[in-house]
Structures are given as structure tokens and as C-alpha cells.
Amino acid sequence: MSQDLRNIAIIAHVDHGKTTLVDQILKQSGTFRENQQVEDRVMDSGDLEKERGITISSKNTAVNWKGTKINIVDTPGHADFGGEVERILKMVNGVILLVDAAEGPLPQTKFVLRKSLSLGYQPIVVINKIDRKDARPNAVLDEIFDLFVMLDATNEQLDFPVLYAIAKDGIAKEELEEEGTDLSPLMNKIVEHVPAPEQDTDSKFKMLVSSIDWNDYVGRIAVGRVEQGTIKINQEVALMNGKGEVKEKARATKLFTFNGLQREPVEKAVAGDIIALAGYEQVNIGDTLTDTADMTPLEYVDLDQPTIAMYFRVNNSPFAGKEGDYVTSNQLKDRLYRETRTNVAMRVEPTDSPDIYKVSGRGELQMAILIETMRREGFEFSVSRPEVLFKEVDGVTHEPVEEVVVDVQTDYSNRVIDNLQKRKGIMTSMSQEGENNRIQFRVPSRGLIGFRGEMLTETRGTGIMHQQFDGYEPYAGEIPGRNRGALIALEQGDVTGYALEGVQDRGEFFVEPGDPVYMGQVVGVNKRSDDMVVNVVKKKNLTNHRATQTADSVKLNQAKKLSLEQCIEFIDNDELLEVTPKALRIRKTYLDHNDRKRAEKQKASAKA
């Protein structure tokens, strides 16, 4: 049994082609019928994954190749979903490291590779996208080797097999000069190079829960690799947490293995296979499912802790309850706690106020995905500006620091360097690749909040930034915040073109004629550094004088529409982002101008 099973994860930086490669493996292994219509990136099943072209949660699939069953896990590439990658690596026995032939290894490549090497895996390196005009496969191979050395790879790990691929065409080859027709070289290499899982079928059944799925018919589904023993339908199995406490005992009502994109019901499964098991309502990631005759949990290493927090609160704006279906404190609380069941890298804590919850995670993107998901489900709420989580080490305050790589045209590199240095960043290296400079920095996470938007403005949209959490370091000192003030609505009503024309020289507006606004809503960004209250709902007084045609035509600048991520980056400490299924509105925490003044005075006297 053990010889015809392989468990493998595909790891890479975002956009290097993991999901596309899995698509082609599924097609070439005969998973789909010849005439079956299959959409691109079939593994990215969520709406947000399809829209953004990124993988958010890991997916399991399995194919048969010449009599060998290969379980494949497609992992996320974004650093914010690193919690997913760490768990998944525990389920497999080998990894395919995918690297773009032009971009080379990037921060996330380093992160996932470090985890894989520490678990003792010997990666298969696949250099993808060799058909790109700017591909440089030989130089990239040297960079990968240097990365292995830097991460203290053993001699066996340094002797890694290398393949060259064009994932979108379903081609892999061992030598660059070869023609290459399909993915056979890669599939054969997986069977030869990746060890079969150790199969201890004589011991009692044990499985570590690495992932959780949900099904409306059977409830929560635990996914993981059977570490030892055999499991059969209706066998009594205990669910234990990491401390060895029994959470529940039940019978395994449904048992599935993976085949292609489907979960196939089976009567039994043996050690080494990746399975899905239903029947346990209280199951969480990191729990152990074990035979009741051997009640000891499997070891589970805690994941990296969250580095960023945002406060989610019940919406209390004048428009509250008009656009969302779920608006109460209890509905918000239940939804946030439900998220932590399947998203291990996220924490939810209550605060002194029953209407406010502190949500901690790995980064702004992870928070934005949660906010967007909740918004589409019909929730209405407000969120605060992201803040980093400090920790005390020997009485000294430490803060999270990230490794940042910026690819930018040479003309703009000085602006990017100046901006990152203002944000307490330290440059570690700079290299030139064609017309671009690749600049590496170590920057406090605080300094990166709002940086991406500024960088895109400074580089005319051409800069590309990658970031990756790198550790905690002593507090780096004050970092300047937003350098432009807000334009704030004076009163409630619908925006008029007449009012906007009168104040549009004050700055850039987020609203256009006809938009409803309320007192205290941020309607634009000021040209100067201080906040300014403006009237955007003023109507033109009607007189009995006939106006000329030219007096009626209003010339307005285009309104700046911010995306969810841009809103999160823009909001300041005294502002909130109101999120509803229909709109995103930035507002002041205190809507009344006098209340804001009072709060500022109290803050100033508290500092003094």
C-alpha cells in the first residue's frame, strides 16, 4: 500500500503559477472528461479568489499517475495567509518549489522554503514561465541555490532536482534546450523523488487536524493526514485538544478521500492518506482525532502569532441599518468567532465595550479579505485604522518588522528609498535588473501602513512591492502619519454639483453629485495638512432672474473612488471606515465638530 501514495504541497510566492500548474496536472492526469468544460484556475473556488487572481485558502486534490495516487495541496502565496502554509506542510512528505523565471525568489519564497527545509523536506525546484521575454532561468537557479545555502540547507537538500516549466501550456522539461510536450517529467520526478508516507497500520488510529471545511449537510469536516492506524466508517473516535483534554467522543459518520476535485466517500482509510472526516461539531485546527483505546494527542506546533489588529464595531452612523441585513452586536460577534474556527492565524477578543471587538491577524490583506467577505454576506459595521501589536522582551518594547522588496524603475528609486527611510526603514541591498532596481529594506510594520498607495502614486503605478514578516525588534521611534488632512462634510444631505464646484479647489473629493453624506463624513482629502469642514450639500438659491446657459454648466473634477484596501490605508487614528454591502464611507469617530475639538483637547492634556 505504502508504495503507491505520495503527498505533496506546491509552494511559491504569489503569482508564480501554483494554481495554474495544478490545473494542468488535473487535465493531463485524466481527471476531466475530454469534452468537459473547465474554467481556468479551477482550484481557486471562492469569488474573491477568482476576482483577485490569488489563492486565499489551501485546497486539496488528488490525481492518479501510472498507478500512484498523488495527493496535491495548492497553498496560498501571500504572506498574510502564511498560517495556511505552515499547517499544510505538516500534512505532506515533499514540496514543489515554484519560482518565476524572471522575478526569481521573493520574500514569500524564502518564508515557505525555510519552513519546508526545517521539516526536513527535499524540494523539487520548478523554474516556471521560461517563455517570458525577460526570463533569466540560469541566473534565477543561482539565486535559488544561494537561498538554500543562506537557509542552512543540508547537503542532501542542496542536491535538489530542477525542472523548467511553462505551467499555462502544461509543459515541464529537465533541460532548457529540450522541446517538452507535457508534464510527464514533473510527475515522474514526484513519484521518484518524494518519499512515500510512513505507514504504521498496526498502531491505533491517530490523525492531526490540519484544515477544516464546512458542508451544509454534514456540518464541520476535519481534513488531515492519517498519522497511524486505520479508520473505518462508524468506528468510535475521540476528539482531543493539544492539552490532552477530550472534547467529544463520536462515531465517524462520513469518511472521504480526495480524487480530482471531488471528495469520494470510502469505507476505510489507512495511515499516510489525506482524508476528510465528518461527525465532529467542536473540531478545531490542531486537534487530534484518535482511537478511544489510545487517548494521547499528537504534537502540534503553535503557529506564528498575529502582528496587526483592527477594531470591528457596530455601525452607529446616521445611515446605520439602511443598507445591511446583519447590524447587531450579537450578529457581528458570532460572525467573527466563526471566522476563527477555520482561520487559525486570526484572533478575536472582546473589549470593554459590548459593541467593539479586537480582531488580530497577519496583515492588511488578510483583514481586507475578511471585511470584503462579511460585506458580501450582508454585514454592516465599522473598522478602525490597523495598529501593530507590540510585545515586551526583557522590559523593552519590541515591534514587528517586515522584509520588503520593491521592484521599481531606476528613475523613481530615490523617491521610494527616501519614503521608506522616513518610515524608519533600513536598506539591506539594492541590485539592478534591466531597467528596474530591486531594493530590499527592513521596515517596522507600522511604517508600511499606507505605504503601498503612496508608492504607487510616486512611481506612476509601475512599482511592485512584496512584504514578509521577519521578526520582532526594539521600538524604532515615532513615524510620521498621513501628511494631508481630511475634507469633512458639514451637514447631512445629498451632494450637489453647485456646492462641489465652490470648494473643489480645496483638494480631491471622494464623492460626486447625488451621493448621500452625513455630518462628520470624510468627503475628500485636503491639499494642506489640517482637516477642513466643507459644505457639499448646499443648493443654489432660485431667483426670478433667467441665468445664461454657461452659468448652469458645472465643471467638476473626477471623484477619486477608493478601493477597500485604499480606504484601510487612508484612515487615520481619529477616523473609522463604515462598511456596508452597498458602500464604503470614511468618517470621523466623533461626527460633531465640537466633540472632535473636545476629544483633541483631552488627548493633548493627557499627553502633557
Residue numbering of the annotated binding site for GTP: 15-20, 128-131
Question: How many helices (H) and strands (E) are present in the chain, helices listed first?
Answer: 16, 35
Strand ranges of the sheet holding 254-259, from the earlier edge strand across to the other edge:
246-251, 236-240, 288-291, 206-215, 219-228, 274-278, 254-259, 262-265
Rounded alpha-carbon distances, angstroms, from residue 162 to 123, 124, 175, 265, 397: 9, 6, 9, 37, 44
- Whole-angstrom distance, CA of residue 305 vs CA of residue 301: 12
The three cell numbers locating residue 501 = 464646484
Alpha-carbon distance 88 to 108, whole Å? 15
Residues 6+ apart with CB under 8 A from 33: none
Name the amino acid, one letter, at 523. Answer: V
H or E element: which one contains 442? strand 436-444
Residues with Cβ within 8 Å of 288's Cβ and at least 6 positions away in sequence, in order, are: 206, 207, 208, 209, 239, 240, 241, 242, 297, 298, 300
Q: Are 519 and 492 in contact (CB under 8 A)?
A: yes
If one counts every other C-beta atom within 10 angstroms of the C-beta of residue 104, the result is: 22
Burial class (CB in 10 A: 0-12, 13-18, 19+), 521: buried
Q: Which residues contact 346 (CB under 8 A, 6 or more apart)?
A: 306, 339, 340, 359, 360, 361, 366, 370
Amino acid at 416: V
Helical packing angle, 413-422 and 451-458, nearest 10°: 160
> Where is the binding site, in residues?
15-20, 128-131
Q: Residues with Cβ < 8 Å from 176, sequence gap 6 or more? A: 130, 137, 164
Cα distance between residue 249 and residue 240, in whole Å: 9
